[in-house]
Structure formats: C-alpha cells, structure tokens
Structure 1
Amino acid sequence: MRSALIAGTLLLAIIATIFFDEVRSLECYVCSRQEGNAEKCLTTTKTCESDENACQSEIRWGSTPYWSQGAEKQYYVTKKCAKKEDCEEYVNRFTSSCQRIWYEDWKCGECCQGDRCNYYIIMGAGNLKATWLLSLVTAVVIFRHIFAS
C-alpha cells in the first residue's frame, strides 16, 4: 500500500512538472543580423510572449550589407521568439533558397520548441523537450515498480 502511495505522489509530481512547463513562457536566444553565431546570439535571451511558442533562427550567407566588387561573403544570424505556425510558414517560404552553395547568396531558417533550443543554428536543434523525456522515463520506472510488486 505504501509503495502505491509513493508511486501516486511521484506521478502527480510528474504531471505537475509537465503542466508547469507548458504554462510558463518559453525562453529563446535573440539577436539580429549578427556576423556569425557568436557573442549576442549566444548570450542574449528573451522570455517570449505568451502566444509565442517557438524559437526561430535564420542564417544568411552573402556579401556585406555595403556591397563592393570582390567583397567576401559571410554569415548573418538572426534569432527570435515566434508563433510556431508563423515560424514554420517562414521556413517553408525560403526552403528553395536554402542551397548552401558557397558562391551564391542563400538563406535558411529553422524552428524549434523548448527553452533556449535555438543556441545552435541549422543543426536540427530538436523539438523534444528534456522535461518530456525525463517525465516519460520516470513514469515507466514508476509503473514497472507498481506492477512488479
């Protein structure tokens, strides 16, 4: 009986953790047209608005804003909070220009969900939240313990 009470308490704690994770605001890295994924893009974060449920990243490869003949190309990174639907639409709109050919200008985008998931750019930051994974593993252990007794 005591092990069932402990298991029930742990299960309630897991559910509360999941609920709290969904209610609180998302936090994303933010920066605008920075040269590379460095400095501000890795140190500046923002707590997103309640309707913003994704982190959006964009990387552009091209000449400097003040183009001159023979100018070298470089990366420009932008990160921000976004609504998931808007972010996915943005990424889909520019999929055809995401060629990654060194001698052409290109632009790629990415959406992810989870606190600070946009630390890396265009690397498949992932949509699986660590909290969900931890909760799933804990639930499996609890149920195995209950049914093993």
Structure 2
Amino acid sequence: MQCLQDEDTCLTNISYTVPPYWEPFGDRKHFLWKSCTTAAACEAERKRAGSECMREWYMDWRCVECCQGELCNYYATLESSILLPNFWISAFTTLFVLYNIMLNKCT
C-alpha cells in the first residue's frame, strides 16, 4: 500500500467478532484492516478503541495499533503492552499450580 505524503503512520485494526455474514454456529472470527493515517489520528483511534481491547475469547473486541516506518505493520501483532497483563496472569497461575503439585508430593 502506498501512503500519501502527509500520512506518516500505519494503523492496524484487529477485531474479533461475529462476521457480518451468516456462519454456522455464529462463530467469531478475526478481522484485520490496515491503513495509512497521521500520527494524531491514529492515536485518537487507538484511544477510542482502548475500552474495547479486552482480547477475551468469549466477547467481541477490537484493538488498534499505530507504528511508523517501512513495513512496520507487516506482521500484525498486538503490541506487548497489551499482552503484558495476560503474561503475568499466566505466569502466576502456572507458579501456583506447580507449588500445589510440589506441596501435595511432599505430604
């Protein structure tokens, strides 16, 4: 995609929702849109989507990423700041389970 001269930022919109067309069982799907915009417009869109960016498998959600540079959004991934809380929840849950397993083996 070729951006206009004043569009210095790449916007990536990732959503997980029921498709607008009929699907058996109404399963949710990931949808991805990429576009060019200004840094201010992208940041405004990111803040607007902030409350919707929950990444829960059972709910509809939408996240927006902004980046600058050639092919910066080639790989559509959610930035690490969004993923960090999920990492810590997983890490603490794993440690808790391992602790309980070790505790049960010792008794």
TM-score, structure 1 as length reference: 0.50
Equivalent residues in 2 for 1:8-87, closer than 5 Å: 46-67=1-22, 70-87=25-42
- In 2, distance between residues paired with 1:88 and 1:120? 19
Aligned pair 1:120/2:105, yes or no?
no
Question: What is the root-mean-square deviation of aligned Cα atoms in Å?
Answer: 1.8
How far off its partner does 1:70 sit?
Answer: 2.8
How far off its partner does 1:120 sit?
Answer: 1.8
Q: Which ranges of structure 1 fall in alignment gaps of 5 or more residues?
A: 1-45, 126-149
How far off its partner does 1:69 sit?
Answer: 7.4
- In 2, distance between residues paired with 1:122 and 1:97? 17
- In 2, distance between residues paired with 1:67 and 1:99? 25
User: 3-state DSSP class of the match of 1:70?
Assistant: helix
TM-score, structure 2 as length reference: 0.68
Aligned to 1:97: 52
Task: Quote the sequence identity (%).
Answer: 38
- Cα gap change, 1:78 to 1:102, in 2 (>3 Å): same
Write out per-residue CA displacement over residues 67-104 of structure 1, whole angstroms, 9 at most, x where no aligned residue. 56731111000001111100010001110100001111
- In 2, distance between residues paired with 1:58 and 1:105? 14
Amino acid at match of 1:99: M
Amino acid at match of 1:70: F
Aligned to 2:65: 110
Query: Which of structures 1 and 2 has the bigger CA Rg?
Result: 1
- Cα gap change, 1:105 to 1:123, in 2 (>3 Å): closer
Q: Which ranges of structure 2 fall in alignment gaps of 5 or more residues?
A: 81-107
The answer (yes or no) to whether the contact 1:59–1:109 under 8 Å persists in 2 is: yes
